[in-house]
Amino acid sequence: MAQESSGPAKVTVMPALPSFRKPPVFEVVLGVQFNAPQLGAVHVGGFHRRIRDQYPRVVQVPPIPPSFEVFLPAPASGGPAGPVGIALPSNAAFPRQWFISDDDEHLVQFQSDRLLVNWRKGDGDRPYPRYSEVRHRFTEAFEAFQDFMREDVGAAFVPNQCEATYLNRIPVEDSSGWGRPGRWVRLWNDDAEETEAVQFSVNRLLTASDGSPYARLTISAEGGVTAAGPAIMLNLLVRGRPLGSGPADVLDFLDRARATIVTQFAALASDEASRVWERES
């Protein structure tokens, strides 16, 4: 599959990526974090006006604290890590806004330092519209946001983090427990005993052409119970710094992140899962 990034002078040819007709994905999020301009309540309406036709409904939720992926040398001793985290408060003076499409399928999240676009499967049998559609939605909102920054705020757009997340919900057959999740995902071998619970996380660094890390892939799996029964929540997240400061660099990051996620997901899918999810390439 060849895919073009936006921008007239920059064309990125992506290698063929694995594809599934019926992937278990139930939510996809593409987002960018940027240097926060001085925004007030009036700006919320200013941005919403630009996308209101597609996202007429508004919900206010608490803001997400700013976060950065950082890359430090591994502990020399290989010993356990110390206490994690220096938690900072988010900008409570400027809440996060959800601008929601009428059919509830698409969502734009906006706060003083973030823009996120979600596709959501919801509770029904809504088919995944593919990355191209989610990317198109992100690009539209992103362009509206850049216009808003330029015309309404008069501030430069400076991205500092990008992220792409795929959330998958894999139903498991055994309602009395987790059965054999290894039937679906190659993360573990449960041929011998039944799995009692599922919860783990793996991080991998993504490196630029000069070998320096620029992003981190996090794969996490956790058992849960949905309205349809027990399921494994398999989430793949890539977050890091864009390799440039322009809008095209944001989209380039998201394309790379998506390629990493899709490739990793296909590598995790068991043979049986690939049949059920109808892998086509």
Would you tell me which residues interact with another protein (CB under 8 A)? 33, 35-36, 65-73, 75-76, 79, 81-89, 91, 113, 160, 212-213, 241
The number of helices, as runs of H, and strands, as runs of E, in the chain is: 4, 9
Contact residues for 82 (Cβ-Cβ < 8 A; gap 6+): none
For residue 181, the Cα-to-chain-centroid distance in whole angstroms is 23
In the numeric block, which tokens belong to residue 140?
């539209």
Identify whether the C-beta of residue 254 lies closer than 8 Å to the C-beta of residue 247: no
Residue 41 or 208: the one with the smaller Cβ distance to another protein is: 208
User: Min. distance of Cβ 124 from another protein in angstroms?
Assistant: 38
User: Min. distance of Cβ 80 from another protein in angstroms?
Assistant: 9
Residue 65 or 224: the one with the smaller Cβ distance to another protein is: 65
Residue 106 or 241: the one with the smaller Cβ distance to another protein is: 241
Residue 18 or 242: the one with the smaller Cβ distance to another protein is: 242
CA distance 77 to 84: 17
Residue 75 or 229: the one with the smaller Cβ distance to another protein is: 75
Query: Residue 252: which of 242, 238, 260 has the closest Cα?
Result: 242
User: Min. distance of Cβ 66 from another protein in angstroms?
Assistant: 4
User: Min. distance of Cβ 157 from another protein in angstroms?
Assistant: 13
User: Min. distance of Cβ 88 from another protein in angstroms?
Assistant: 5
Q: Count CB atoms within 10 A of the CB of residue 194.
A: 12
**Cα angle at 113 between 239 and 142, to 5 degrees?**
75
State which H helix or E strand residue 220 sits in.
strand 213-226
User: Min. distance of Cβ 86 from another protein in angstroms?
Assistant: 4
Residue 13 or 87: the one with the smaller Cβ distance to another protein is: 87
CA distance 233 to 112: 30
